[in-house]
Amino acid sequence: MAAAPVVLPRMKLGSQGLEVSAQGLGCMGMSAAYGEHKPEQDMIALLRHAVAAGVTFLDTSDIYGPHTNELLLRKVLQGGAREKVQLATKFGITPAREVRGDPYVRAACEGSLARLGIDCIDLYYQHRIDKSVPVEITMGEIKKLVQEGKVKHVGLSEASASTIRRAHAVHPITAVQLEWSLWSRDVEEDIIPTCRELSIGIVAYSPLGRGFLSTGPKLLDTLPEDDFCKNLPRFQPENMEKNAAIFERVSEMAARKGCTSSQLALAWVHHQGSDVCPIPGTTKVENLNQNVRALSVELTAEEMVELESYAAMDAVQGDRYHITFLNTWKTPRPLPCHPGKPLNWVSSESITMLMLRITDLK
């Protein structure tokens, strides 16, 4: 018997009035990072299927491709679909892999608007935090874009708790995007509590551990050499061998629950609270349908504890990233804002602070 269709609920994301589907769709893999090029028509069909199924919160960035992912979404937004979609895009990582938070944000925003073929971005994230520019200056520029009607809501990605507070003081932050899954839980110490204190929505990217929680170690056998995951510390053979035990236990529990391991892992994220929206990525309609059905998987408090015991912080081997700027909330804190000082002014105290933080991280 076919599984009953899941009615995808809606949720309030943050406290600024944004309403989205309770599960979103990460679109990066349709154009970049993961394996071989995907046929455009297949990706358009997938996106249209997602919107028809109620997955209307679509997540992209100007760096995906670069630019080609936004151009792909433009083709899906035509013909009346724009009114059904809550569209999130990002700025802050250039094609040269530089992190920028200076006033180039205006040019970045206008570029995204043109590629997407829209007049206003529903949720505009600073993709990574520029340590050389006080976040107050970046937020001041985004605030102008909001006032001009080019951006509705503002978000941050991979920002520390202190950066979130500083940015929120300039303009209300609607959502913070971060990596949160069964095997990536370090955000729970400071960042999640800060978001909840400030009534900021939480968008969990890579909720399936970049596919690990779906297929386990055999994922590596299917990846081409240029796949993004091939270079990540957790996916190196010496770490993957140890991390395999996590997947085995999750799979065993999923079998008991009558669901897939990916559905169980996604259900865990959904059970974190009504303020959390996971955005699993996929390039296959079948996987999208399975992900949506994760909303029907119920977990008791005891089962949540059991799941979390499988992937305790000390059980997961290898860092999330190997490139410092990609997990910027863990790197030295951004420069403080000094009112009345020019943008390129940096105090000797700031330089000393940064050097001490860098030394601590070595």
What's the CATH number where 262 sits?
A: 3.20.20.100
Query: What local confidence, expressed as pLDDT, does residue 359 receive?
Result: 32
64 is catalytic: yes
Structural domain count, the chain: 1
Query: What local confidence, expressed as pLDDT, does residue 182 receive?
Result: 94
Is the pTM above the cut of 0.85?
yes
**Which residues are 88's β-sheet partners?**
59, 123
- Residue 357 forms part of a structural domain: no
- Residue 102 forms part of a structural domain: yes
Name, in order, each residue with C-beta under 8 angstroms of 116's C-beta and a sequence gap of 6 or more: 70, 73, 74, 77, 87, 89
What b/e string do you get for 102-133 counting C-beta neighbours within 10 Å, with b at 16 or more? eebbeebbeebbebbebebbbbbbbbbbbbeb
If pLDDT is split at 50, 70 and 90, which confidence band does 177 have? very high
Q: Are 357 and 191 in contact (CB under 8 A)?
A: no
- Residue 195 forms part of a structural domain: yes
Summarised one tens digit per residue, pLDDT across range 292-334 is 999 999 999 999 999 999 988 677 877 787 665 565 667 655 6
Residue-range definition of the domain harbouring residue 231: 10-331
Q: Are 281 and 28 in contact (CB under 8 A)?
A: yes
- Residue 187 forms part of a structural domain: yes
**Of 141, 32, 134, 56, which Cα lies nearest the Cα of 91?**
141
Query: What local confidence, expressed as pLDDT, does residue 187 receive?
Result: 94
**Which residues are 110's β-sheet partners?**
none
Query: What local confidence, expressed as pLDDT, does residue 79 receive?
Result: 87
- Residue 349 forms part of a structural domain: no
- Residue 235 forms part of a structural domain: yes
DSSP 8-state symbol, 5: P
- Residue 354 forms part of a structural domain: no
- Residue 355 forms part of a structural domain: no
- Which carries the bigger pLDDT value, residue 221 or residue 102? 102
Residue 339 has pLDDT above 70, yes or no: no
Q: Which of 34, 64, 124, 205 is catalytic?
A: 64
- Alpha helices (H) along 86-129: 105-116
Q: Are 85 and 117 in contact (CB under 8 A)?
A: no
